[in-house]
Structure 1
Amino acid sequence: MNKLLETTLNFPQTEIWNDSCSCAELQYALDNGACGATTNPVIVGNVLKKELSQWEPMIEELILRHPEATEDDLAWMMIKAMGQKASLLLKPEFERTRGQRGRISFQTNAKYYTNAELMIRHGEELAAVCENSQIKAPASAAGIAAYEELTYRGISINATVSFTVAQALATAEAVERGLRRREAEGLDISAMHPVCTIMAGRVDDHLKKQVADQKLLFPPEALEWAGVAIVKKALKLYVQRGYRTKLMIAAFRNPYSWHCFIGDPVILTIPHDWQLRINHSDFPVEDHHEFQVDEATIRQLETLEEFRKAYDEQGQRPEDFEHYGAFTKTMRQFLDGYDDLVRLIRGYKVK
């Protein structure tokens, strides 16, 4: 049996999502027990490049049907179309679980990350694409404010560009405020499924860069555990406080992002190539719900200021979130990825 299918059958509390909106990759993931998928402009651009022959007719048709549309308009039409197509594969699971699984995430325009109102408006627009949508927005100070309002309006959020315990806690508290406002007005929350992503591997990347930039002699194996330690700490606090948001682990860099969370009530969003590597591995599928990164490794990591900011419950204030190194690098990549997508569309529109 494939390792991911074995994971989902033996530990159904540990969900698997496909970290792509490619229908071919999503079908492989679904065959191995996955129950969700995600998009963002970078993912959409990468899928378009890999599957260009499949999507080229739609790009050309949209340009013909909407001659007045800008390149940006057309890019978002493609994002919606690709996400909507993938959503159909997930719809049966969404209906079976009454909204608790079977969702696809759409990400608001990365350019809006400092403006809560723009994120809210765009989030509502994207949520209307399909019934089983989930709305991603960056966990900046403005994003935290947007989560509360989107939740209040009945939209299930997925916090992204999130790396730290403080961001995870601020997200969960914002969602709780939104849910309580709905409950106070007698509005239904039974089908809502809020999620907070921690991009564990990008924390590892950030710390490795810090060590290299500062020319520190540091145990390299300790740097592979930073993201795992942060998620495990956030998860413990989520359980203790009874938050109704579910944690998601993203940005795979090593097998620990899967193996160490088997048995935990979390979501693992896994790129297709990592799914293949996991399924073909010899790692045993066993319960790691009680696993914690050892104290010696934590002490080593705590000598790094950037790890302390991410690991300490009060390591950051909301106004600090968008200035953390991993946040700024990821936002630049998202913004560049969006520009690449627009350039791809431009190649068809401007001939």
Structure 2
Amino acid sequence: MELRSRLEAEIAEELRLMRSFSMDDIAGVVEAGEGEEAANRLIFFSRPTDFPSHLDALRKRLAARFPEADEKFRKGCISFLSHLTLGLSSFLVQWNLKNADLHGDAILDDARIKAEVEANLALLAEWEALAPSVAEELLGEWRQEAEARFVAERAQEPEALAEELVGSSACDYLRNMARAIEGSNLRKIAEMRVAGLNHTELGNDYAAFLRYALYLGASFVTTNPVLVDIAWAADPDHWNPVMDRLVAADPNADDEELARLATLEVVLANMHLLRPIFLLTRGGMGCVSLQVNPKRHGDAQAMIADATAIYGELRERLDGGVPNVVFKLPGTRAGLEACYALTSQGIGVNITVNFGLFQQLRFAEAIRQGQAIFATLTEMNGRLAYPVRDELLGKLDELAAYGITEADAREAAAWAGVAVVKRLHRLLQERGYDLRRIKPLVASLRIYKEGPGYDRLPSPYPDITEDVGTGIITVFPNVRRAFDAEPRIELDPLRVEEPVPERALEVLAHSEIFRQAYYVADRSWVPEEDERFRPEYELVLEDEEAVAAWPPVYNTLTQFGEGYDRFVERLVGRRHLLALRERAQAGAKLSEAEEALVGALTNVYDVTVREALGLVCDVPEDEALVPLLRQEGVRQALESHNDEEIAALYRLALAKHEPDSAVRRARKFVGSYSSYIARLSGTTG
């Protein structure tokens, strides 16, 4: 048996075990406070014919205990039934309960599912009346989660939107969520795959809020240090405790190890959410795309070593299960070497920093020879389109001779990544490659609304609408929100097979960057090439220096590297802050921990800076802190945040610890510095 078949057999055995559970097992999970886990087991692993009777028995069992139970049990019950109701109101039912490929005619119909939802809502209303404080606690958690998601989606007034979504009861929240899910344009794409119209999957191009994307039909997620950093900045209340726990658990970890541990924490959480899909599809879907250190993009052996070590670690964390993960590799010569090595071991890969067919086709050949269940070929549409746009706009005077205007240039550039995806899809099909195993993946989506020429596009989202029918389309939260808000979006299930408008190609032929991406020099793939697209300088992976300097690659690697450094610096700042907290709690002087103090105060993360200043304000007077606070580097770093709260805390810290300050003299009028600072902060806020 070949390696790929053995992996599929392992996955099938795990699926068999997951389907072996009793209602006592599910009730025990609920009683342990893991309501979401219990709901997922029922939705993903119940036989559809058993589901109604099992759920009815479980509702009765929990309802019998609810009136006399403690608050922990009550919260677990409401959480369980709420998660279950959301799942039944979403795309999740398609993976198992309505999956005719798995169960034939023995599936649940819409009427049966609707009846179960209504029964759940009726019971939830009773439980809320019996336990209003528990219900209010959950409503608060849902508001906080919704607000953080709306922030990530760049919505206007996220707090007000969260209030409106959650409403005043669990039933309000669940009905409002069901309406949002039902009205999603993205969900329509997922439904096309279920209907057999194409093979397009959806992905969540973000490190958080995968659960909501799953409700819409997502089956893939991208995580990397940069995306984790963005998610962290968007939702510090959630991520600060997570990162602090990781830092505290391994105080001797170096900076790179800290970044790896933090990324793995997010990866494992997302793997857990996607695990049922991975099992139900025998490993064909349900993976997390994992990137460790993007700064090692030129070192094949380092990438191979990192990936194999992490793969083994994930195996252990899954009790020997096949990890539902694919490893990001760059579309470079070193990445190709790593691709051959990893896929030969059955480890999936996601080829990124990938823009041109000179990259895509070489990696497609490597993946085809490997043993991975599936792998992806990412086309970073927006990261190709923008350099092409800038190149064309930079020579409009020259292009005027061809009748090309600014509007023409902008419109054509928006087609650049789409054109490469369409051609890649067609070439792989013509070669007979299995597109469910070698999946083109569209990423780095853009919204084209502001600018001349964009009104001539088929939609403001050509990276989505014009690529439907390809392997995976992975979507940023802000793009998802904008796309789902559109009242009318025309979706063709096989739009990827339609040609790019000829006028767009005529304009794109004037871009050297586009020609380098679109041209195929290998005559085994394209016997006769359109010479309009022959670049002045043909790129090949072996020309490592030229590939690294190519604008789409250079810009992306530079931004990834800078983002990785920022993520590491944020983690290091938390380590400094934890050291300060420990000293403050032990009554030790902060002035004797100069490295930690200066490191926390000069950190890029404003939340860390505020917390560090708060500690300085709250410890006993220590004149030795003043020269540290007045260091030029500290002062400049604090000013760079341009934050009124940081500035106020800095003034308070100086005033407290300087001899003969007004704050010190005022101490006799207040019970503590904390209360005095609270008063001042209240007046300055």
Q: Give the Cα separation in 2 of the matches to 1:11 and 1:119.
A: 34
Query: Residues 259-278 of structure 1, C-alpha deviation per residue, up to 9 Å, x if partnerless?
Result: 1122x131001011111111
Q: 1:186: which partner in 2?
A: none
Q: 1:246: which partner in 2?
A: 439
- What are the within-5 Å matches in structure 2 for residues 49-128 of structure 1? 49-128=233-312
Moved more, 169-178 or 39-48: 169-178
Q: Which has the larger radius of gyration?
A: 2
Q: 1:185: which partner in 2?
A: none
Q: 2:548: which partner in 1?
A: 322
Q: 2:206: which partner in 1?
A: 20
Q: 2:467: which partner in 1?
A: 261
- Between Structure 1 and Structure 2, the one with more helix by share is 2
**Of 375, 393, 406, the match for 1:194:** 375
Q: What is the SS of the residue equivalent to 2:329?
A: strand
Shift in Å, 1:171: 0.9
Query: Residues 178-203 of structure 1, C-alpha deviation per residue, up to 9 Å, x if partnerless?
Result: 34xxxxxxxxx5xx111110101111
Establish whether residue 343 from structure 1 lines up as the match of residue 569 from structure 2.
Answer: yes
Establish whether residue 204 from structure 1 lines up as the match of residue 385 from structure 2.
Answer: yes
Contact map agreement 1:108 1:137 (CA 8 A) in 2? no
Moved more, 210-219 or 272-281: 210-219
Q: 1:11: which partner in 2?
A: 193
Q: What is the SS of the residue equivalent to 2:358?
A: helix
Q: Give the Cα separation in 1 of the matches to 2:230 and 2:255.
A: 17
Q: Give the Cα separation in 2 of the matches to 1:337 and 1:309.
A: 27
Q: 1:301: which partner in 2?
A: 508
Moved more, 97-106 or 215-224: 215-224
Q: 1:184: which partner in 2?
A: none
In the superposition, the TM-score normalised over structure 2's length comes to: 0.48
> Which residue type is aligned with residue 195 of structure 1?
T
Shift in Å, 1:113: 0.9
Q: What is the SS of the residue equivalent to 1:35?
A: strand
Q: Give the Cα separation in 1 of the matches to 2:250 and 2:347.
A: 29
Q: Give the Cα separation in 1 of the matches to 2:213 and 2:336.
A: 31
Q: Give the Cα separation in 1 of the matches to 2:504 and 2:392.
A: 15
Q: Give the Cα separation in 2 of the matches to 1:237 and 1:323.
A: 27
> Which residue type is aligned with residue 149 of structure 1?
A
Q: Give the Cα separation in 2 of the matches to 1:323 and 1:140.
A: 12
Q: Give the Cα separation in 1 of the matches to 2:382 and 2:470.
A: 19
Contact map agreement 1:74 1:345 (CA 8 A) in 2? yes
Q: What is the SS of the residue equivalent to 1:246?
A: strand
Query: Residues 210-264 of structure 1, C-alpha deviation per residue, up to 9 Å, x if partnerless?
Result: 12444555422111111111110111111111234110001111301111122x1
Shift in Å, 1:289: 4.1
> Which residue type is aligned with residue 518 of structure 2?
Y
Q: 2:7: which partner in 1?
A: none
**Of 144, 147, 168, the match for 2:339:** 147
Q: Give the Cα separation in 1 of the matches to 2:502 and 2:490.
A: 24
Shift in Å, 1:206: 0.9
Q: Give the Cα separation in 1 of the matches to 2:189 and 2:242.
A: 37
- Percent of pairs identical after alignment? 29
Query: Residues 32-77 of structure 1, C-alpha deviation per residue, up to 9 Å, x if partnerless?
Result: 1111101111101101111222122232222222121112211111
Shift in Å, 1:284: 2.0
Q: Give the Cα separation in 1 of the matches to 2:553 and 2:246.
A: 34
Contact map agreement 2:439 2:471 (CA 8 A) in 1? yes
Q: What is the SS of the residue equivalent to 2:378?
A: strand
Q: Give the Cα separation in 2 of the matches to 1:98 and 1:321.
A: 37
Moved more, 204-213 or 327-336: 204-213
Q: Give the Cα separation in 2 of the matches to 1:163 and 1:339.
A: 24
Q: What is the SS of the residue equivalent to 2:564?
A: helix
Q: Give the Cα separation in 2 of the matches to 1:284 and 1:178.
A: 38
Q: Give the Cα separation in 1 of the matches to 2:429 and 2:552.
A: 26
Q: CA RMSD in A?
A: 1.6
Q: 1:286: which partner in 2?
A: 492
Q: What is the SS of the residue equivalent to 2:433?
A: coil
Q: Give the Cα separation in 1 of the matches to 2:419 and 2:244.
A: 47
Q: Give the Cα separation in 1 of the matches to 2:552 and 2:465.
A: 23
Establish whether residue 333 from structure 1 lines up as the match of residue 594 from structure 2.
Answer: no
Unaligned runs of 5+ in 1: 180-188
Q: What is the SS of the residue equivalent to 1:11?
A: helix
Establish whether residue 29 from structure 1 lines up as the match of residue 222 from structure 2.
Answer: no
Q: What is the SS of the residue equivalent to 1:303?
A: coil
